[in-house]
Amino acid sequence: MPRGAAYCFVRERSPAKARRAPRKPFQGGRTALARKSGGAVDYKIIDADGHVLEDDGLFDYLEPSYRARDHQLSWDRLFPSLDFHHTGGHSTRSKKSFGAGRRVGPDQWLEFVEAANIECAVLYPTKGLRIGNISHPDWACYVARAYNDWLHDRYLKRSPRLKGMALLPMQDVDEAVLELRRAVCELGMAGAMLPSRGLRFDLGHKTFWPVYAEAERLGCALGVHGGAHHGMGLDTFETFVPVHGLGHPLSLIIAFTGMVYHGVFDRYPNLRVGFLEGGAGWVAFWMDRLDRSHSYHVELNLRGKYHGPGPDRRPSDYIKMGRVFVGCEGNEEGLPYQIQRAGNQHFLFASDFPHEIGPDDILHEIAEVAAAPLTDQDKRAVLRENAKRFYQI
């Protein structure tokens, strides 16, 4: 694969879904929405995690030998399958999922952010969530570059309200470093997505540290995102709901724990990492469980150094440092408790549009956050300020 490395100036560093019953469309516009929520949200929201629906236009960005439409490579084989559950049944929410049956592109995204009073949205892939499952390093490089160029041309060029997170070929770390640099410096991406599952090693492994060094140098965000949940003990389920409901948070817990206990956040003290689409409810559980285990089982390696935090630091301290961010949604009744335990500086409001969320749903979800028993400062942090800090918007 061609290795064209771009260089750019380093950015200035900043200081250190569960299934619901179908909703009726909300009537009355934003004024009524403000009354419903118990108070107006008088500032624009930042959507920390939305999705693009990739199309066959990606073929035009592949290496020339793959561009011919009569090639044996079909559209559905650009990325591996997410899992074996997406086609096994019928979803009662299918009319609202994935754009309510219509193709969602940049036009529909701009309509969505305007209707929801969203200043900008940070876009993650759909099919590209599977990139960690690609076994061939060269193919991972080709697909990542093609996706990033496609996203830039189709969405980022269209409007500054649409921000992008790049795909990286983590199967080839040297190329991943170059692609991160290119995506941020040449394509204007806010950072890059890391798959929570699928790679040969967990995300804390030293194999991946050059990517973290480059992200810290560039001052860009890394967003760990669930989606492909093979090999997590969920493969025996016969339905999609438990795989979806458990797979997202469990994969984030595994990824975050690996990064803490392999020393990523100690080695790169200015690295910002988000953990997305697993909700916020796992945070307090993780803090309690890991702090307790750590208090009994602090380990030394064969060189006499600590595995992960030493005895003078708890795992929960890494969440409270302000460099770890967690995506949350509107219907999370436990969000006030999570903020009470961890602080308000970590949680990012995410629409997930157009997956499980449609234009009507997002108004309800914003209203749910606005009506939650949180301070105005908490609400503003969740709906805007944390995403602004994480993505350096």
Q: What is the pLDDT of residue 11?
A: 46
Alpha carbon distances (Å) from 24 to 109, 241, 355, 358: 22, 22, 18, 12
| Number of neighbouring beta carbons within 10 Å of residue 76 | 9
Reply yes or no: is the peptide bond before residue 106 cis, omega within 30 of 0: no
CATH of 45-64+87-391, one of 3.40.50.740, 3.20.20.140, 3.40.50.300, 3.30.40.10: 3.20.20.140
Which pLDDT score, from 0 to 100, does residue 67 have? 67
Angular region, 223: left φ>0, alpha ψ -120 to 50, beta rest: beta
Q: Using CA atoms, how far apart are residues 295 and 372, in angstroms rounded to an integer?
A: 34
CA within 13 Å, CB half, 172 = 19
At 358, the amino acid letter reads: G
Whether 335 and 355 have beta carbons less than 8 Å apart is answered as no
Q: Which of 147, 97, 108, 109 is nearest to 127 (CA)?
A: 147
CA distance 280 to 132: 24
Percent helix, strand and coil across the chain, each rounded to 5?
45, 10, 45
Q: What is the pLDDT of residue 68?
A: 61
Can you give the pLDDT at residue 38? Answer: 37
Amino acid at residue number 310: G
Q: How far apart are CA 275 and CA 325, in angstroms?
A: 6
Half-sphere exposure at residue 37, Cβ-oriented, CA atoms within 13 angstroms: 27
CA distance 352 to 125: 11
Q: Could you tell me which residues come within 8 angstroms of residue 361 by beta carbon, excluding any fewer than 6 positions away?
A: 23, 96
- Show pLDDT as tens, one digit a residue, over the chain (393 residues): 444 444 454 544 444 444 444 444 334 343 343 344 333 488 999 999 999 999 888 888 988 877 665 555 655 667 776 655 555 555 555 445 444 446 899 999 999 999 899 999 999 999 999 998 898 999 999 999 999 999 999 999 999 999 999 999 999 999 999 999 999 999 999 999 999 888 899 999 999 999 999 999 999 999 999 877 777 777 777 777 777 777 788 989 999 999 999 999 999 999 999 999 999 999 999 999 999 988 877 777 777 777 777 778 899 999 998 999 999 987 899 999 999 999 999 999 999 999 877 777 888 888 899 999 999 999 999 999 999 999 999
Which residue type sits at 123? L
**Backbone phi, then psi, for 212, in 5-degree steps?**
-70, -35
Domain boundaries, the chain: 45-64+87-391
* pLDDT score for 91: 55
Token pair recorded at residue 233: 């003990």
Helices (H) and strands (E) in the chain, counts: 15, 8
Look up residue 12 and give its DSSP letter: P
In contact, 143 and 1? CB cutoff 8 Å: no
Pair 280, 326: CB distance under 8 Å: yes
